[in-house]
Structure 1
Amino acid sequence: MKIRAKLMLSMGILIAFILFSLFAVTHIQFYIIRDLEYMREKPAFTALKENFQRHYAAGGNSWAGVRAEEMDSGSFFPEIALVSGGSLVVHKGQLPLRTLQDEGFPLFLTDAEGKIGTLFVMDAKQYKTYEFKSMWYGIFPVVVRVSLLFTFVAALVISFFLSRRFTSPIRKLLQGIDSIKKGSGGDVKLPVARKDEFGAIARALQEMNDSLASLERSRKQMLSDVAHELKTPLMIMQGELELAQEIDEPLKQEKVSSLLDEVLRLNRLVHDVLELSRMEAGRAELRREPENIGALLQGLIEKTRYIAEDKNIRVRLRTPEEDIYAPVEKHRILQALYNILINALHYTPAGGTVKIGAGTAVREGRLVVLLTVEDNGSGIASEDLPHIFNRFYRADHSRTRPSGGTGLGLAIAEQNILLHGGSIGVQSESGKGTVFTVLLPV
Structure 2
Amino acid sequence: MKIRTKLILSMTVLLVFILLFPLAVTHIQFYISRDYAYRENKAAFEALREEFGRYYTEHGDTWERVENASFESIRDFAEVLLYADGFPLYRQGRLSVDELRNDGYPLVIRSGQQKVGRLYVMNGEQYKTYEFKKEWYGILPNIGIASLLFTCVAALLSIFLLSWRLTRPIRIIIRGIEGVKKGDNAAVFPVRRKDEFGSISRALRDMNESLADAERARKQLLSDVAHELKTPLMIIQGELELAQETGAQLTPDKQSSILDEVLRLSRLVHEVLDLSKLEAGMAELRRGPENLAALLEDLTEKTRFLAEEKQIRFTLQTTEDEIRVSADKSRILQALYNLLTNAIYYTNPGGLIRVSLDRVELPDKHQQYARVRIEDSGVGISEEDLPHIFDRFYRADHARARPTGGTGLGLAIAKQNIAAHQGWIDVRSEEGQGSEFMVYLPVISS
TM over 0.5: yes
Render the CA deviation track for 1:329-374: whole Å, top value 9, x for unaligned. 1111111111011111111111111111222223311222222211
Matched, 1:366 2:367: yes
Give the direction of change, closer, same or farther, for the CA distance of 1:393–1:68 in structure 2 (3 Å limit): farther
Query: What is the CA-CA distance between 1:148 and the residue it aligns to?
Result: 3.6
Query: What is the CA-CA distance between 1:387 and the residue it aligns to?
Result: 0.6
Match of 2:206 in 1: 207
Please, which moves more after superposition, 76-85 or 323-332?
76-85
Identity among equivalent pairs (%): 55
Please, which moves more after superposition, 251-260 or 79-88?
79-88
The correspondence of residues 331-346 of structure 1 with structure 2, limited to 5 A, is 331-346=330-345
Query: What is the CA-CA distance between 1:9 and the residue it aligns to?
Result: 0.9
The correspondence of residues 17-166 of structure 1 with structure 2, limited to 5 A, is 17-59=17-59, 61=61, 63=63, 70-72=70-72, 75-112=75-112, 114-166=114-166
| Structure 2, unaligned runs of 5 or more | none
Match of 2:408 in 1: 407
After TM superposition, the score normalised by the length of structure 2 is 0.93
Render the CA deviation track for 1:364-421: whole Å, top value 9, x for unaligned. 1122222221112111111111111000001111212222110000011111111112
One-letter amino acid of the structure 2 residue matched with residue 121 of structure 1 = V
Match of 2:313 in 1: 314
Matched, 1:217 2:254: no
Taking the aligned partners of 2:112 and 2:407, their CA distance within structure 1 comes to 115
Give the direction of change, closer, same or farther, for the CA distance of 1:61–1:184 in structure 2 (3 Å limit): closer
8 A Cα contact 2:51 2:73, kept in partner: no
Taking the aligned partners of 2:227 and 2:68, their CA distance within structure 1 comes to 116
Render the CA deviation track for 1:30-68: whole Å, top value 9, x for unaligned. 212211110111122122223333444455555556579
One-letter amino acid of the structure 2 residue matched with residue 261 of structure 1 = D
Taking the aligned partners of 1:303 and 1:145, their CA distance within structure 2 comes to 96
Give the direction of change, closer, same or farther, for the CA distance of 1:127–1:234 in structure 2 (3 Å limit): same
SS in 1 for 2:394: coil
Taking the aligned partners of 2:58 and 2:306, their CA distance within structure 1 comes to 133
Render the CA deviation track for 1:67-122: whole Å, top value 9, x for unaligned. 79942457321101123333333211011122211210112223446434322110
Give the direction of change, closer, same or farther, for the CA distance of 1:62–1:244 in structure 2 (3 Å limit): closer
One-letter amino acid of the structure 2 residue matched with residue 418 of structure 1 = A
Give the direction of change, closer, same or farther, for the CA distance of 1:87–1:259 in structure 2 (3 Å limit): closer
Match of 2:236 in 1: 237
Taking the aligned partners of 2:268 and 2:23, their CA distance within structure 1 comes to 83
Please, which moves more after superposition, 363-372 or 106-115?
106-115
Taking the aligned partners of 2:394 and 2:193, their CA distance within structure 1 comes to 38
8 A Cα contact 1:269 1:406, kept in partner: yes
SS in 2 for 1:342: helix
8 A Cα contact 1:296 1:334, kept in partner: yes
Render the CA deviation track for 1:295-353: whole Å, top value 9, x for unaligned. 11111112212210011112221211111111111111111111011111111111111
Please, which moves more after superposition, 327-336 or 88-97?
88-97
After TM superposition, the score normalised by the length of structure 1 is 0.94
SS in 2 for 1:259: helix
Taking the aligned partners of 1:130 and 1:406, their CA distance within structure 2 comes to 97
Render the CA deviation track for 1:256-309: whole Å, top value 9, x for unaligned. 111111111111111111111111122211111111111111111122122100
Match of 1:256 in 2: 255
Taking the aligned partners of 1:172 and 1:61, their CA distance within structure 2 comes to 85
SS in 1 for 2:405: coil
8 A Cα contact 2:373 2:438, kept in partner: yes
One-letter amino acid of the structure 2 residue matched with residue 127 of structure 1 = Y
Matched, 1:167 2:136: no
Render the CA deviation track for 1:183-227: whole Å, top value 9, x for unaligned. 222x22111111111111111111111111112111111111111
8 A Cα contact 2:80 2:122, kept in partner: yes
8 A Cα contact 1:11 1:151, kept in partner: no
Query: What is the CA-CA distance between 1:229 and the residue it aligns to?
Result: 0.8
Taking the aligned partners of 2:338 and 2:420, their CA distance within structure 1 comes to 16
Give the direction of change, closer, same or farther, for the CA distance of 1:163–1:327 in structure 2 (3 Å limit): same
8 A Cα contact 2:82 2:88, kept in partner: yes
Taking the aligned partners of 1:387 and 1:69, their CA distance within structure 2 comes to 110
Render the CA deviation track for 1:113-148: whole Å, top value 9, x for unaligned. 643432211011211222222223333433443344
Render the CA deviation track for 1:152-173: whole Å, top value 9, x for unaligned. 3223211111111111111111
Query: What is the CA-CA distance between 1:241 and the residue it aligns to?
Result: 2.1
One-letter amino acid of the structure 2 residue matched with residue 213 of structure 1 = A
8 A Cα contact 1:12 1:148, kept in partner: no
Query: What is the CA-CA distance between 1:228 and the residue it aligns to?
Result: 1.1
One-letter amino acid of the structure 2 residue matched with residue 229 of structure 1 = E
8 A Cα contact 1:316 1:356, kept in partner: yes
Give the direction of change, closer, same or farther, for the CA distance of 1:49–1:68 in structure 2 (3 Å limit): farther
8 A Cα contact 2:74 2:80, kept in partner: no
Taking the aligned partners of 2:166 and 2:310, their CA distance within structure 1 comes to 69
Give the direction of change, closer, same or farther, for the CA distance of 1:73–1:305 in structure 2 (3 Å limit): closer
Give the direction of change, closer, same or farther, for the CA distance of 1:223–1:112 in structure 2 (3 Å limit): closer
| Aligned residues between the structures | 441
Taking the aligned partners of 1:284 and 1:68, their CA distance within structure 2 comes to 108
Please, which moves more after superposition, 192-201 or 363-372?
363-372
Match of 1:195 in 2: 194
Taking the aligned partners of 2:148 and 2:384, their CA distance within structure 1 comes to 68
Match of 1:426 in 2: 427
Match of 1:383 in 2: 384
One-letter amino acid of the structure 1 residue matched with residue 179 of structure 2 = S
Match of 1:13 in 2: 13
8 A Cα contact 1:30 1:130, kept in partner: yes
Give the direction of change, closer, same or farther, for the CA distance of 1:161–1:69 in structure 2 (3 Å limit): farther
CA RMSD of aligned residues (A): 2.0
One-letter amino acid of the structure 1 residue matched with residue 46 of structure 2 = T
One-letter amino acid of the structure 1 residue matched with residue 251 of structure 2 = K
Taking the aligned partners of 2:86 and 2:236, their CA distance within structure 1 comes to 122
One-letter amino acid of the structure 2 residue matched with residue 383 of structure 1 = E
Please, which moves more after superposition, 246-255 or 174-183?
246-255
Please, which moves more after superposition, 245-254 or 267-276?
245-254
